[in-house]
Structure 1
Amino acid sequence: MKRFTLLVFFHGIALTMYAQTPTTNYIPFEVNADSSATFRLLAPDAKTVALEGDVKAEKTEHSSEGLWTMTTAPHLNQSVYRYFFIVDGVKVNDPKNPMVADFRPMVDIVPKDQTLFWQQKDVPHGLLSIVYYYSKATNSTRRMFVWTPPGYFASNNKMPVLYLLHGGGDNDTNWPGQGKAGWILDNLSAEGKIVPMVVVMPDGSIPVETFASDLGNNIIPYVEANFRVWHDTPHRALAGLSMGGIETLETLLKFPDKFAYVNVMSSGWFGNKPGTYEKYDALVKAAAPTLNKTVKYFIFTTGGVSDIADKNNDLTKAVFDKYGIKSDLSKREGGHSMYVWRQNLYEFTQKIFK
C-alpha cells in the first residue's frame, strides 16, 4: 500500500495532511442494522482522528494499516447529516464522499430496507445540464444547473420553470448534489405527480440585491431565450432555502409581477438589524397590489422550533399577512437541514403549475 504525507503551512505552522492512493479499497460510510452509522478514513500516520459535525462517534477503532473506523450510537433518526474529521487537530473532509462540493460533506441515514423519494430509482431520468451565461449584474460569466424532464428533447411542448435557490455557504452544486433535486424530480415525474417543468438552479453566492437583479434581468431572459419554456408569470415559480429564501423574498419584491408560485424555506428577514422590518414593511406594502394579482400559491416552510430561522420566518410572514397577501405555513420538524428542504421541494413541486 502506497501512502504519502502532505505538509500545509498555515500562518507559519506546518500542518500534516494525510492522503491515499486511488486504489485503496474500503467502505467509507455505511448504515448498520441498528441504525447506527460507521465512517472510515485512511490516515496511517495520524495520532488522533475524531468524527465531528452533526454526528459523533461512540466507538473508534484503529487498524495497524492506518484505517480509522468510527461508529455512532444506534437508532439515529432518519435524516441528512453533515460531518467531517479532525485529524491531529486539523479539519479534514472525507476524500471518498462525492458530496463535498461546498466543502461540507453530507450523508443520508436511511434504513437499509427502505427507498425514499430522494433516492435514485430505476425510472426515466431527466438531463441535468451545466449552463454558462453572461451576467450584467456582475459583469462576468456565471454558472447554473438546469434540469429538464425526461422526454423534453422529444417534445415540442413549452414548459413552466421553477427557479430553485440554495443557501448560504453553498453554490449552484448544492441542490443537484446534496439536495438530490434531480432524483426527486425524476421520481415525481415517473409517478406522474408533477407537471413537466424545467428547474433552474443558479449560483446565489453573491450579494442578495445583486442576485435579485441577476435573476430578474439576466437569468430569466437567458432561460426563456434558450429553453422551450413559457414566457409569462403563470408559468414561473420561485423557491429558496435559508439565504436563498432571503433572495427569494428580495427577488419577489423587486419583480412582483414575475412569479405565480413562491416557497420561502427556513428563512426570513433578521430582526436584530435596526430598520430592517421598517424597510421591508414599506416594500411589501408597495408590492401588495401586484402580488395579490399574480401570486397563486405562496408558502413559508421551516424545520419547526428547532430551525434557527423559525422566528424570522414567523415575523416575515406576518408582514405579508398585514397587507393581505395570503400564504400557507408548514413547520415540519427537522431543524435547519437538507432533510427538511428535500421534503419542501418534494411537496412544493406537486402543487405548482396545476
Structure 2
Amino acid sequence: MKPERYPIVTLKSVNLTNMFTRTLTICFLLSALSLQAQNAARLVSPEVLPDQSVIFRLKSPTAKNVQVVGSWKADKPIPMTRIDSVTYEAKIGPLPTDIYEYRFNVDGTMTLDPGNGFVTTGGTVVESRVLIPGKLGNLLATQPVPHGNVTAVWYPSPTLGATRRMQVYTPPGYEEGKGTYPVLYLLHGAGGDEESWISRGRANYILDNLIAAKEAVPMIVVITNGNPDVVSSPLNRPLAESTKDASGPAGMASLKFEESLVNDVIPYIEKHYRVKADADHRALTGFSMGGYQTQNISNKYPNLFKYIGVMSMGLFSSYRNSQPNYDKEKHVAQLKALMAAKPRFYWVGIGKADFLYDSVTKLRGLYDEVGLPYTYRETPGAHTWNEWRLYLTELAPHYFK
C-alpha cells in the first residue's frame, strides 16, 4: 500500500512587525473612538455661561422629580426639567460673583452632582460647589500668588480634659522669616468644625489674595473646633468618639469652650508661634454660634482683643435657648467695661433674610443705648456661607491697621 500523499502548500513570507503595528493602530483608533463617544455622552454640570448664568444637568432614567437646591436662593428647591428620556436640566441666574454650594434632590433623596468633582465639607455636610468668577469669586479662588500654609495642630486642653485639633494658617513667608505676627481667632457656627473655615470658608485663600494685594496685613489665623464635646472634625476623631454628635454647644457647654479658648488655645499659640502677644494684635471673629461665643468671650475678657467681629448673631438670641435667664444689668456692665478697654474696631454684620435678623436689631439697640461704638454691615442674603465669606473679605483689611 502506497503512503498517502498530501498536497504541498507554500506559504509566502509575512512581515509580522507590520501586522503588529497595524493591529495596534486599529486598537488605538477603536479606543479613541470609544473614549470620544463616552465624552460626547458625558454631561457638563455645572456649566457657567458668559453672562454668569449656570446650567445644572443630571442623568437619571428612573427619576420622577428632580430639583436643584443651592445657597443662591436660601436652599429653596428649584425644579429641573426633563429634556430627554434620561436627562434633567435647570438654568439658574445670572448669579453674582461668589461660590455657591448645592445638591440635587432626586425623588426626595439628596445627592451630590456626579458631574462635578468640586465639593465642600463642614461637619457632616458635604455639598457640590460652583464658583462664579468676578471680583469676589476671584478673591475666593486659588490665584497664582504666594500661599500661606494650613497646618492641623493637636494641642492639650486641660479645661476640656482632652487633646483637641485646630487649624492654623501661617501667612506666606512665615516659615522662612523671623518676624512676629498678629493673630485672628476665627470661630465657626453650629454643625461646623475646625475644617469649616478652610473647606467652605476659603479663609486661607482669602488671606493669601488680600495679603498679595496689600489689602490686609500678614496675620496668623487660628480656627478651633467650637464644639466642646468632640475633639475634632468627624474623620479625625479617635474611634471612641467617632459616633458623637457635634450639633453645637449651648448654655454651659458653650462656656466650657470659651474658657478653653482663653486658657488653652491662646497660650498654646503664643508659646509655639511667633506672634505679637498683646490685645492690639489679637482679633476675635465668628458667625452664628461663633458670633455668640465671640460676644461672650469679648464681654467677659474686655482687655483681651482689640478687634471684634460678630457675624449673623444678635442679642443672646433664641439660639439653643442659651440664655433663658438673661441678666441685662450684668450685660450692660460688661459692655461698659468693654467700652473702657477701647476696642479699636467692633463690627456687627447680618443678612436681611437671616432668621436671626431681629436678634441683631435688638443687639444694636442695646449697643446704641449703652453707647458702644460699632460698625454695622447689612447684606441682602440669609444665614449662609455666602455672607460669611464676604464678611471675612471685608473684615480682614480692617484688622491690625
When normalised by structure 2's length, the TM-score is: 0.73
> What displacement does 1:163 show?
0.4
- Aligned match of 2:120: 99
- Aligned match of 1:118: 140
Say if 1:135 and 1:218, in contact at 8 Å, map to a contact too: yes
The AA in structure 2 aligned to 1:37 is: V
- Indicate the SS of the match to 1:100: strand
CA 1:263–1:114 in structure 2 vs 1: closer, same or farther (change >3 Å)? closer
- Aligned match of 2:275: 229
The AA in structure 2 aligned to 1:238 is: L
Unaligned 5+ segments in structure 2 are 1-40, 229-248
- Looking at structure 2, the residues matched to 34 and 154 of structure 1 have their Cα atoms a distance apart, in angstroms, of 43
CA 1:101–1:228 in structure 2 vs 1: closer, same or farther (change >3 Å)? same
- Aligned match of 2:22: none
The AA in structure 2 aligned to 1:84 is: R
CA 1:109–1:63 in structure 2 vs 1: closer, same or farther (change >3 Å)? farther
CA 1:252–1:32 in structure 2 vs 1: closer, same or farther (change >3 Å)? same
- Aligned match of 2:344: 296
- Indicate the SS of the match to 2:371: coil
CA 1:105–1:344 in structure 2 vs 1: closer, same or farther (change >3 Å)? same
> What displacement does 1:164 show?
0.7
CA 1:217–1:94 in structure 2 vs 1: closer, same or farther (change >3 Å)? farther
The AA in structure 2 aligned to 1:99 is: T
Map 1:238-249 → 2, pairs under 5 A = 238-249=284-295
The AA in structure 1 aligned to 2:279 is: T
| Identity score, percent | 33
CA 1:134–1:29 in structure 2 vs 1: closer, same or farther (change >3 Å)? farther
Q: Deviations over 1:88-137 (max 9, x none)?
A: 43222346342134414253452589952222211011111111112223
- Aligned match of 1:12: none
The alignment covers a number of residue pairs equal to 327
Q: Deviations over 1:39-76 (max 9, x none)?
A: 34565665654323435244344665xxx543234423
- Looking at structure 1, the residues matched to 134 and 82 of structure 2 have their Cα atoms a distance apart, in angstroms, of 23
Kindly report the root-mean-square deviation, in angstroms, between the aligned alpha carbons of the 2 structures: 2.8
> What displacement does 1:80 show?
4.1
* Residue 268 (structure 1) aligned with residue 314 (structure 2): yes
- Indicate the SS of the match to 1:245: helix
* Residue 285 (structure 1) aligned with residue 333 (structure 2): yes
Unaligned 5+ segments in structure 1 are 1-23
* Residue 164 (structure 1) aligned with residue 186 (structure 2): yes
Map 1:5-16 → 2, pairs under 5 A = none
Say if 1:80 and 1:106, in contact at 8 Å, map to a contact too: no
> What displacement does 1:236 show?
0.4
> What displacement does 1:166 show?
1.2
When normalised by structure 1's length, the TM-score is: 0.82
- Aligned match of 1:83: 102
Map 1:80-229 → 2, pairs under 5 A = 80-94=99-113, 96-102=117-123, 103-105=125-127, 107-108=129-130, 110-111=132-133, 116-206=138-228, 207=249, 208-229=254-275
Q: Deviations over 1:242-279 (max 9, x none)?
A: 11111111111222221000010111134556965842
Say if 2:69 and 2:78, in contact at 8 Å, map to a contact too: yes
- Indicate the SS of the match to 2:121: coil
- Aligned match of 1:258: 304
CA 1:87–1:223 in structure 2 vs 1: closer, same or farther (change >3 Å)? same
Q: Greater CA deviation, 82-91 or 110-119?
A: 110-119
- Looking at structure 2, the residues matched to 60 and 205 of structure 1 have their Cα atoms a distance apart, in angstroms, of 43
* Residue 30 (structure 1) aligned with residue 51 (structure 2): no
- Looking at structure 2, the residues matched to 202 and 172 of structure 1 have their Cα atoms a distance apart, in angstroms, of 5
Say if 1:301 and 1:344, in contact at 8 Å, map to a contact too: yes
- Indicate the SS of the match to 2:398: coil
- Looking at structure 1, the residues matched to 323 and 154 of structure 2 have their Cα atoms a distance apart, in angstroms, of 37
Q: Greater CA deviation, 28-37 or 162-171?
A: 28-37
> What displacement does 1:174 show?
1.5
The AA in structure 2 aligned to 1:75 is: P
CA 1:348–1:141 in structure 2 vs 1: closer, same or farther (change >3 Å)? same
CA 1:318–1:122 in structure 2 vs 1: closer, same or farther (change >3 Å)? same
Say if 2:292 and 2:314, in contact at 8 Å, map to a contact too: yes
CA 1:183–1:153 in structure 2 vs 1: closer, same or farther (change >3 Å)? same
Say if 2:302 and 2:337, in contact at 8 Å, map to a contact too: no
Say if 1:135 and 1:214, in contact at 8 Å, map to a contact too: yes
- Aligned match of 2:238: none
CA 1:80–1:104 in structure 2 vs 1: closer, same or farther (change >3 Å)? same
Say if 1:242 and 1:267, in contact at 8 Å, map to a contact too: yes
- Aligned match of 2:32: none
- Indicate the SS of the match to 1:171: coil
- Looking at structure 2, the residues matched to 314 and 113 of structure 1 have their Cα atoms a distance apart, in angstroms, of 30
The AA in structure 2 aligned to 1:188 is: L
- Aligned match of 2:375: 328
Q: Greater CA radius of gyration, 1 or 2? A: 2
Name the one with the larger helix percent.
2
- Looking at structure 2, the residues matched to 160 and 112 of structure 1 have their Cα atoms a distance apart, in angstroms, of 30
